[in-house]
A and B are shown apart, each in its own frame.
Chain A
Amino acid sequence: AQSVTQPDIHITVSEGASLELRCNYSYGATPYLFWYVQSPGQGLQLLLKYFSGDTLVQGIKGFEAEFKRSQSSFNLRKPSVHWSDAAEYFCAVGRTGTASKLTFGTGTRLQVTL
């Protein structure tokens, strides 16, 4: 069965500092991977996705993620964090089959200090 691990429950960074959120997955085939962001009391917004091809993918709001098959990782990065990036971030892996069900990690809450 597929699973997603986000080892950091809570991360605090200073505004302007770089950010890396970790995501490790367990899946028997080539996965398709996603990062979503959620502001308090809101739905999830898709930041970026990886299906195949270039292992470095660019997303919205200046985020990028790199797929590393050898490490089963799909870490999210941003070179310079803005205060508005404070939110909860979820990594998800897509399952095979036409239903395209997603398995989510437990999330990483990002706090940004000014």
Chain B
Amino acid sequence: DGGITQSPKYLFRKEGQNVTLSCEQNLNHDAMYWYRQDPGQGLRLIYYSQIVNDFQKGDIAEGYSVSREKKESFPLTVTSAQKNPTAFYLCASRGDRSYEQYFGPGTRLTVT
């Protein structure tokens, strides 16, 4: 079954700790994206990657970091520098020669 997996579904951390969210896809897509979703604000782009070993900042990259060492994996690290990390995080991917993005099930991060 092809798709995008995100783990874990729920994540709890103490303030000041870095945390890494996993995103894996077996769709053979080149492009991958990370979004943050807050109530009433829609989705906002954090980082995106069009190819292995390359990635660019999105609209709200401060306090986040990513890596793209493998085509199928695009992990997101929420650092202690992110002021309001509690949110729902969504990973997406896009195939070559297409414009639509396909989303994973999301990870809800709660930082206290």
Q: Does B2 contact A (CB under 8 A)?
A: no
Q: Is B31 an interface residue (CB 8 A)?
A: yes
Tell me which residues across on chain B come within 8 A of A100, comparing CB atoms.
31, 94, 99, 101
> Across the interface, do B50 and A98 meet the contact criterion of CB distance under 8 Å?
yes
A32 contacts partner chain B, Cβ-Cβ < 8 Å: yes
A-B contact count (CB 8 A): 56
B50: chain A residues at CB < 8 Å are 98-99
Stretch from B12-20, B35-43, B62-70 at the A interface: B35-43
Give the contact-size bracket for chain B: 20 to 34
14 contacts across the A-B interface (CB closer than 8 A): A4-B42, A36-B103, A43-B4, A46-B100, A46-B102, A49-B100, A51-B99, A90-B42, A99-B48, A101-B58, A102-B45, A102-B101, A105-B42, A106-B40
Residues of B near any A CB (own CB < 8 A): 4, 6, 31, 33, 40-45, 48, 50, 56, 58, 88, 90, 92, 94, 99-106, 108
* List of 6 A-B pairs having minimum Cβ-Cβ separation, nearest first: A43-B103, A104-B42, A44-B103, A106-B42, A104-B43, A43-B105
